Structure 1
Amino acid sequence: MTVTNDPDELEAQFAQWRRYVRRRPELSESDADELEDHLRGSVGQLTALGLHDDEAFLVAVKRMGGLDELSREFAREHSERLWKQLVLTGDTGPRSRSRTDLIVMLICALGAAVSVKVPELFQHSIGYDLDGFYSLNYSLFALPWLAAFLLWRRRAGRLVCGVVAALFVVGAAAANLYPLDTESQSIDVVATHLPIALWFVVGLAYISDGLRSARRRMDFIRFSGEWFVYLTLIGLGGGVLTAFAMGAFNAIGIDLWEFTNLWLLPCGLVSAVVVAGWLVEAKQGVIENIAPVLTRLFTPLFTVGLLAFLVTIGWNGRRIDVDRGNLVLFDLLLVLVLGLLLYSMSARDPMAPAGKFDVMQLVLVASALVMDALVLFTMTGRVAQYGSTPNNSTALGANIVLLVNLIWTAWLLLRFVRRRQPFAVIERWQTTYLPVYAGWMWIVVLVLPPVFAFR
């Protein structure tokens, strides 16, 4: 590694560290100043001992510990103030920013709720979606509003905002201008893959303050996992509340079925997408304590499940039956394994040495790799025998994309476990591969339907 004593480079490192610290809403500007003063003092002491600027900076940051540790230290020192900030009370400093974020979030959530009902003015019924309009467009009523909130929060430039808006327009055009018949496979392919393609557009909005930063891409992976957790919790809570409300009103002779299905559920779902994103941004310290627990709970379960499946295949000697239902199941399982792997990486301390949990992840990836190869082999034979369709072509391409990632991930994990390379190499590979997933999703949405004549 080349070391320098360039003051501008050192200041750039301080600025990058400060931006990272300020993403935590519970730390005020004065808190960040205090942390930065402490860091600068430590760097000054180390350079006085003869270390180069970049070496001193890295050592000083390492000595200070992770940001979560610093947050806990500040929480102990300023517990009353930080707790009030967490529940959004008060009226100065970051509390004022939190209130502004809350207002903008509510505007975006309301916009999503209104937009999902607007098509009914043009004869599109959300209760009787006979033409498939809502199946194709539902994500377009929620994700642009979440992206708008993130762009506003990141203070994104006009160019990034324009690119994000243009991609949503392209997605809307594919959903509404392509002649997709409700009985065709193409409409199923677009309806299932467009939300994923648009989620990567949300990711572009999320990393708009650091487009070239691998760390920000990993932050987006963490954001995605936490957003899903919050959305699930909101859905469960909302479902229980709705069931109680319907039961209570039914007891007095009022039927809420039409209101619930035509208004509450569709408007609540698109609004919850925005609210969940705001919660991740506002309450990061809460869910980050859950993330390592979730990954360490489900990684062993998925590992044992995949190993049992592979052992059963070897014992019985039966090939995998890849009909449409099983194909969706296997692809979903592989995606879940990959998502679990990425989420666990985002929650991991990149400076920690390899341990038993990393070995378990290697076993999980290797098992998923074998299963993907078996499914891909069987699928290729099926395509050769019966010809290609939009469904099997989509699945075939997705399995190839996953296979490439799993092969290289397994190799990098093996080298890390054997202490041949740092964990940062694995992180860099995963964040670099994200555009490949995004590119394939857009190919599925924009290219495959016309290639198969929209059948």
Structure 2
Amino acid sequence: MGGGTMTIAGDSELEGQIAEWRAYVHRRREMHSTDAEELEDHLRNRITELTESGLRADEAFLIAVKRMGTLDELSREFAREHSERLWKQLVLAKEPSAPAAARSRRELPVMLLCAAVAALAVKVPSLFGVDIADDDGSFYVRNMSLFVLPPLAAYFVWQRRVGPRVIGALAALFVLGAIAANAYPLDDGSQSLAITAIHLPLALWLVVGVAYTGGDWRSDRRRMDFVRFSGEWLIYLNLLGAGGGMLMAFTAGTFNAIGLDAEEFIGSWLAPCGFAAAVIVSAWLVEAKQSVIENMAPVLTRVFTPLFAATLLAFLVAVAWTNNGIDVERDALILFDLLLVVVLGLLLYSISARDLTAPPGFFDRMQLALVVSALVIDALVLLAITGRITEWGFTPNKTAALGENIILLANLAWSAWLLLGFVRGRMPFAHLERWQTRYMVVYAAWAWTVVLTFPPLFDFA
């Protein structure tokens, strides 16, 4: 969005009203996400015009929603649900245009094309003698994200009608990732290979995020939409993975029953190509079924937040009771980092599903306990890593873990402060949402730093 967003972004009460309006719009099955975004842009531009003419933000909001068009059934339903509000005459939708309907029908074949490209890209190296079944692991470990994520970005480029400048920037970043993954002399089993394999997919996933937002990466709202999409995409990918696992098991069993060995076909074709295609199909499912899947966000966060909070608190009690330090060997570091990432994922997913205007409740306090517990654990891990580095020196793994835990510590600390302020009624929940979406830039910068600088910095060890 343009200057209108910047003009009104500082008014927390107004942002809360727009957030509630937006949440209602996205719950409607008949309202496509692109239509809702267009309506919100229109609404914000109207509000900006009215505020610049001298009206207060709340007055501008009331007038803007009344001027958006004539009443239809959707707005009347909204008015019945929110009859206590002055803005119950809110007007939402118009019938989708013929070009929009035609474009919606083209999404399936475009998705299938991108999925086919991703699946075939996995097999291209076999033309040069590098087959996934025979590879020692190093080539595909480094490059798998480069096979599947560019087609996913291309799907969003088409869907969002991204301009040529953004397309050029996306292509340049993918090329940079390919150079970093393949130009460095990374030995099999080296720590540099491991950290590249971990951080390159993260860096390229955030590149996909730029395509998802249509190039509007500066928008807090669009970045939060990408966070929501990422969580829902992961759900669908796991569901497809479970179905794919059953398919492979049945394939192997049925062919074995007639004396044929299908393991080579499964290992060389079905598993890798199926995974690559599933990355694209999962994204399409999220976009096509938003009104169905969005109800999973609050359910999942409310189920797992108390469980993870109890687990982390029990771990801290055990540490205090036994007075045992934390093991900072490679596997333990990965485990603790994944744990902290899951905590942040639960926090982000709950933010994306929350009504920003709702008052603090018990679940918010549970989240605060979860974040504080993770913050204490992160501090303990940092102390252990620092001690090990002081004793044995820097290695790629420990240096990457040190940086990641410092980044996570800063995020968790400020998130805990913002949550505490919200629970005590001293600041709006929107501050926490803006903090999390803007902090994504830090993750991207760190991931690219590790991929591009760590291997030569540590002599590719």
Give the corresponding residue for 1:27. Answer: 31
Equivalent residue for 1:379, pick from 379, 385, 404: 385
Give the corresponding residue for 2:177. Answer: 171
Give the corresponding residue for 1:235. Answer: 241
Instruction: Map 1:121-132 onto structure 2 (within 5 A).
Output: 121-130=127-136, 132=138
| TM-score between both structures, scaled by the size of structure 2 | 0.83
Q: Compute the RMSD of aligned alpha carbons.
A: 3.4
The answer as to 2:298 corresponding to 1:292 is yes
Distance 1:3 1:451, change over 3 A: closer
Distance 1:112 1:305, change over 3 A: same
TM superposition shift of 1:24:
7.5
Kept in 1: contact 2:141–2:197 (CA 8 A): yes
Give the corresponding residue for 1:81. Answer: none
Equivalent residue for 1:133, pick from 136, 139, 142: 139
The answer as to 2:363 corresponding to 1:357 is yes
Amino acid of the structure 1 residue aligned with 2:301? T
TM superposition shift of 1:73:
5.6
In the alignment, the residues of structure 2 paired with residue 371 and residue 149 of structure 1 have an alpha-carbon distance, to the nearest angstrom, of 39
Amino acid of the structure 2 residue aligned with 1:178? Y
Instruction: Map 1:307-318 onto structure 2 (within 5 A).
Output: 307-318=313-324
In the alignment, the residues of structure 2 paired with residue 61 and residue 366 of structure 1 have an alpha-carbon distance, to the nearest angstrom, of 41
Distance 1:271 1:132, change over 3 A: same
Give the corresponding residue for 1:200. Answer: 206
Distance 1:400 1:358, change over 3 A: same
Distance 1:353 1:129, change over 3 A: same
Distance 1:284 1:131, change over 3 A: closer
Kept in 2: contact 1:25–1:98 (CA 8 A): no
TM superposition shift of 1:325:
1.3
In the alignment, the residues of structure 2 paired with residue 319 and residue 164 of structure 1 have an alpha-carbon distance, to the nearest angstrom, of 44
Aligned residue pair count: 414
In the alignment, the residues of structure 2 paired with residue 96 and residue 208 of structure 1 have an alpha-carbon distance, to the nearest angstrom, of 20
Kept in 2: contact 1:376–1:399 (CA 8 A): yes
In the alignment, the residues of structure 2 paired with residue 388 and residue 54 of structure 1 have an alpha-carbon distance, to the nearest angstrom, of 56
Give the corresponding residue for 1:328. Answer: 334
Equivalent residue for 1:117, pick from 101, 113, 123: 123
In the alignment, the residues of structure 2 paired with residue 330 and residue 72 of structure 1 have an alpha-carbon distance, to the nearest angstrom, of 50
Structure 1 SS opposite 2:154:
helix
Q: Deviations over 1:174-221 (max 9, x none)?
A: 011011111311011101111111101011111125332101111110
Equivalent residue for 2:415, pick from 392, 399, 409: 409
Structure 2 SS opposite 1:142:
helix
Give the corresponding residue for 1:85. Answer: none
Kept in 1: contact 2:29–2:291 (CA 8 A): no
The answer as to 2:310 corresponding to 1:304 is yes
TM superposition shift of 1:351:
1.3
Instruction: Map 1:36-435 onto structure 2 (within 5 A).
Output: 52=56, 55-57=59-61, 95-130=101-136, 132-208=138-214, 210-435=216-441
Q: Deviations over 1:10-53 (max 9, x none)?
A: 9xx99xx89x9699873379x979x99xx99xx9xx99xx9746
In the alignment, the residues of structure 2 paired with residue 71 and residue 114 of structure 1 have an alpha-carbon distance, to the nearest angstrom, of 46
Kept in 2: contact 1:108–1:274 (CA 8 A): yes
Distance 1:131 1:277, change over 3 A: closer
TM superposition shift of 1:387:
0.5
Give the corresponding residue for 2:88. Answer: none
In the alignment, the residues of structure 2 paired with residue 93 and residue 298 of structure 1 have an alpha-carbon distance, to the nearest angstrom, of 42
Distance 1:338 1:32, change over 3 A: closer
Give the corresponding residue for 1:448. Answer: 454
Q: Deviations over 1:275-308 (max 9, x none)?
A: 1111111111111011110010000000000000
Point out where structure 1 has 5 or more consecutive residues left out of the alignment: 5-9, 75-90
In the alignment, the residues of structure 2 paired with residue 32 and residue 405 of structure 1 have an alpha-carbon distance, to the nearest angstrom, of 31
Structure 1 SS opposite 2:306:
helix
| TM-score between both structures, scaled by the size of structure 1 | 0.84
In the alignment, the residues of structure 2 paired with residue 182 and residue 3 of structure 1 have an alpha-carbon distance, to the nearest angstrom, of 53
In the alignment, the residues of structure 1 paired with residue 138 and residue 286 of structure 2 have an alpha-carbon distance, to the nearest angstrom, of 32
Structure 1 SS opposite 2:446:
helix
In the alignment, the residues of structure 1 paired with residue 56 and residue 426 of structure 2 have an alpha-carbon distance, to the nearest angstrom, of 26
Structure 1 SS opposite 2:295:
coil
In the alignment, the residues of structure 1 paired with residue 106 and residue 161 of structure 2 have an alpha-carbon distance, to the nearest angstrom, of 13
In the alignment, the residues of structure 2 paired with residue 274 and residue 24 of structure 1 have an alpha-carbon distance, to the nearest angstrom, of 24
In the alignment, the residues of structure 2 paired with residue 72 and residue 319 of structure 1 have an alpha-carbon distance, to the nearest angstrom, of 61
Distance 1:310 1:123, change over 3 A: same
In the alignment, the residues of structure 1 paired with residue 416 and residue 261 of structure 2 have an alpha-carbon distance, to the nearest angstrom, of 55
Amino acid of the structure 2 residue aligned with 1:359? R
TM superposition shift of 1:312:
0.6
Distance 1:73 1:99, change over 3 A: farther
Kept in 1: contact 2:166–2:215 (CA 8 A): no
Q: Deviations over 1:46-84 (max 9, x none)?
A: 99xx9746534269869x9xxxx969969xxxxxxxxxx
In the alignment, the residues of structure 1 paired with residue 370 and residue 352 of structure 2 have an alpha-carbon distance, to the nearest angstrom, of 17
Kept in 2: contact 1:129–1:135 (CA 8 A): no
In the alignment, the residues of structure 1 paired with residue 397 and residue 76 of structure 2 have an alpha-carbon distance, to the nearest angstrom, of 49
In the alignment, the residues of structure 2 paired with residue 380 and residue 253 of structure 1 have an alpha-carbon distance, to the nearest angstrom, of 57
In the alignment, the residues of structure 2 paired with residue 71 and residue 118 of structure 1 have an alpha-carbon distance, to the nearest angstrom, of 52
Amino acid of the structure 2 residue aligned with 1:357? F
Kept in 2: contact 1:231–1:272 (CA 8 A): yes
Distance 1:56 1:393, change over 3 A: same
Structure 1 SS opposite 2:186:
coil
**Identity in percent:** 63
In the alignment, the residues of structure 2 paired with residue 330 and residue 23 of structure 1 have an alpha-carbon distance, to the nearest angstrom, of 36
Distance 1:61 1:350, change over 3 A: farther
Q: Deviations over 1:71-129 (max 9, x none)?
A: 9969xxxxxxxxxxxxxxxx967553332111111110000111110111111120122
